[in-house]
Structure 1
Amino acid sequence: MKRIAICLTLAAGLVSSAAFADAKNDAEMKQLAAKSGCTTCHGIETDKPGPNGMKPIGPAWIDVAKQYQGKPGASEFLTRVVLEGSNPYSSHWKGKVSGLSMPPNAVAITEGNARLLVNWILALR
């Protein structure tokens, strides 16, 4: 019985450490996104209003995570979109957002940081 209690205590410590690491990572990623200008158009949760009552400018990250969940190459594809921008003629967000396309952001964020941010976004639930 004592052995089970010790195991449960250790497991609880690992879970709380992981939760602290996740909270720290969330704060760092939110700070990186704000510093890089991402939060001008995007929010984490669905239905962040756009300017003057319009639809949001860009899709919510939770929606991006759902859209690309389990798709091979999603991280690489979205990192390229962040850096190089998107094609306004082939957007699957058409009608859901007020923005036509994502502008290139290579001047605002490094490829490494873009990849970190994209991987964080894809892990949102």
Structure 2
Amino acid sequence: MFRHHKLAAALLASLVLSPAAMADAKTDADMKKLALASGCTTCHGIEKDKPGPDGLKPIGPAWIDVANQYRGKPGATEFLTRVVQEGSNPYSSHWKNRVSGLAMPPNAVAISPADTRQLVSWILSLK
């Protein structure tokens, strides 16, 4: 019987800590407000085709494209949280020729790791 309690507790913990559960903790409006306050919307839009400056391609990929690229991949939340916090390598970008920005700058001064993880989880939940 004790074994069943441990299994139930483990299942409950996995539900509580899943990216989908974390994304549900805040509303879309909360996440959009966090993104705006953190400067994310300077380069990214939610939907495709947010134009870049002077008619260029968008600076950064649309979040719906990010969600489609990474949703369901093991470690996606951790990887993207690290990219947001530390920045990305312009020489290994798979967004090359699809965006006008070369790389994501580090954003650790603009948004905390916890808020980044929550925002990334929300982005990955977009459909």
TM-score under structure 2 length normalisation: 0.80
* Structure 2 counterpart of 1:89: 91
Percent identity between the two aligned chains = 77
In structure 1, the gaps of 5 or more residues are: 1-21
> Does residue 30 in structure 1 map to residue 35 in structure 2?
no
The separation in 2 between residues aligned to 1:30 and 1:106, in whole angstroms, is: 18
Residue deviations 1:50-81, cap 9 Å, x none? 00000000000000000002110000000000
| Deviation beyond 6 Å, 4+ runs, structure 1 | none
| Partner residue, 2:56 | 54
- Name the CA distance, whole Å, in 1 between partners of 2:95 and 2:75: 19
Aligned length: 103
Matched residue type, 1:48: K
* Partner AA of 1:107 in structure 2: V
Task: Point out where structure 2 has 5 or more consecutive residues left out of the alignment.
Answer: 1-23
CA distance in 1, matches of 2:105, 2:27: 26
| Pick aligned residue for 2:82 from 80, 83, 87 | 80
CA RMSD of aligned residues (A): 0.9
Q: What SS does the corresponding residue of 2:84 show, helix, strand or coil?
A: helix
Q: Give the TM-score, by structure 1 length.
A: 0.81
What is the aligned partner in structure 2 of residue 42 from structure 1?
44
CA distance in 2, matches of 1:111, 1:70: 21
| CA–CA distance in structure 1, aligned partners of residues 97 and 84 of structure 2 | 20
Whole-angstrom distance in 1 between the partners of 2:118 and 2:103: 22
Larger Rg computed on CA atoms: 1
CA distance in 2, matches of 1:117, 1:40: 15
Q: Aligned with 2:27: secondary structure?
A: helix
1:36 CA drift (Å): 0.1
Higher relative contact order (CA 8 A, sep 6+): 2
User: 1:67 maps to what in 2?
Assistant: 69
For 1:76 and 1:82, how far apart are their aligned partners in 2? 10
Which AA in structure 1 matches 2:74?
A: P
Tell me how far apart the structure 2 counterparts of residues 90 and 25 of structure 1 sit (CA, whole Å).
33
